Structure 1
Amino acid sequence: MQKPANYQRLPHAQDCDCSVCWSRREMAKPAPSRSTQCAQCRPAYARPIRTLQMGCVGGTWKPLASEWTVEPAFICEKHTPPARPPKYWSVMLDTGRPTPFVPIHEPFELVG
């Protein structure tokens, strides 16, 4: 019988199907994530187009104020989030129209 400490140090076989090796193989695969950008998607981009004011900073002249142009981001149809929630969002129990809360401003006593 092997001790647990000795067993953990043994190398796993090449075709090992234990949970540790399976997890290691799955984590090595590239995930097709919705957040992965494609060739059509592009982030927002800002760049200066004209310098308005220059100043001497640390012995070198640098722009202090500039006019900027901003290109908005573009997200392709594949990566655009859906307008509706996913299908697993569903109504579990519909009890009908909600009853509005009507506050009582006058105190009352129960008769009976």
Structure 2
Amino acid sequence: MQKPTSYQRLPHGRDCDCSVCWSRREMAKPDPSRSTPCAQCRPAYARPIRTLQMGCVGGIWKPLLSEWKVEPAFVCEKHTRPDRPPKYWSVVLDTGRPTPYVPIHEPFELVG
């Protein structure tokens, strides 16, 4: 019988199918999720294209008013969110309008 410490130090074979080797292979695969960045998607950004007014702030000349060019973001079809969230449940049986609870007040007699 091998001790656990000596077993852990044994090298794994190239075609080893243990859970450790399987997990290592799965983690090395590329992520197929929707959040994977692609070459088509780009974030929005803004950059100044012309300075309209300069001012001296703390002894350093800085632009106070500029004209900016804004590039809107672009999201490809794969990464576009659906219009509605996914439906997680559905109605099994619709019995119509709910009946309100009406308590019944019946006279009763105290026993004994």
Residues 55 and 62 of structure 1 are in contact (CA less than 8 Å); yes or no, is this contact kept in structure 2? yes
Structure 2 alignment gaps of length 5 or more: 108-112
Aligned to 1:76: 76
Aligned to 1:111: 106
- Matches of 2:96 and 2:67, distance apart in 1: 55
Aligned to 1:34: 34
Alignment of 1:20-31 (within 5 A): 20-31=20-31
Aligned to 2:94: 95
Q: How many residues align?
A: 106
Runs ≥4 residues deviating over 4 A: 84-87
1:91 alignment partner AA: S
1:110 alignment partner AA: H
2:37 alignment partner AA: Q
1:14 alignment partner AA: R
- Map Cα deviations across residues 55-108 of structure 1 (whole Å, 9 max, x no partner): 455x65443553332211111222212234447x34152334453879xxxxx9
Structure 1 alignment gaps of length 5 or more: 103-107
Evaluate the alpha carbon distance shift between residue 55 and residue 7 of structure 1 in structure 2; reply closer, same or farther with a 3 A threshold. Answer: farther
- Matches of 1:99 and 1:67, distance apart in 2: 60
Alpha-carbon deviation of 1:17?
A: 0.7
Evaluate the alpha carbon distance shift between residue 74 and residue 110 of structure 1 in structure 2; reply closer, same or farther with a 3 A threshold. Answer: same
When the two structures are superposed, what TM-score results if normalisation uses the length of structure 2?
Answer: 0.68
Q: Which moved more, 1:64-73 or 1:27-36?
A: 64-73
Alpha-carbon deviation of 1:54?
A: 3.9
Residue identity (%): 65
Residues 55 and 64 of structure 1 are in contact (CA less than 8 Å); yes or no, is this contact kept in structure 2? no
1:53 alignment partner AA: M
Alignment of 1:38-57 (within 5 A): 38-51=38-51, 52-56=53-57
Residues 54 and 61 of structure 2 are in contact (CA less than 8 Å); yes or no, is this contact kept in structure 1? no
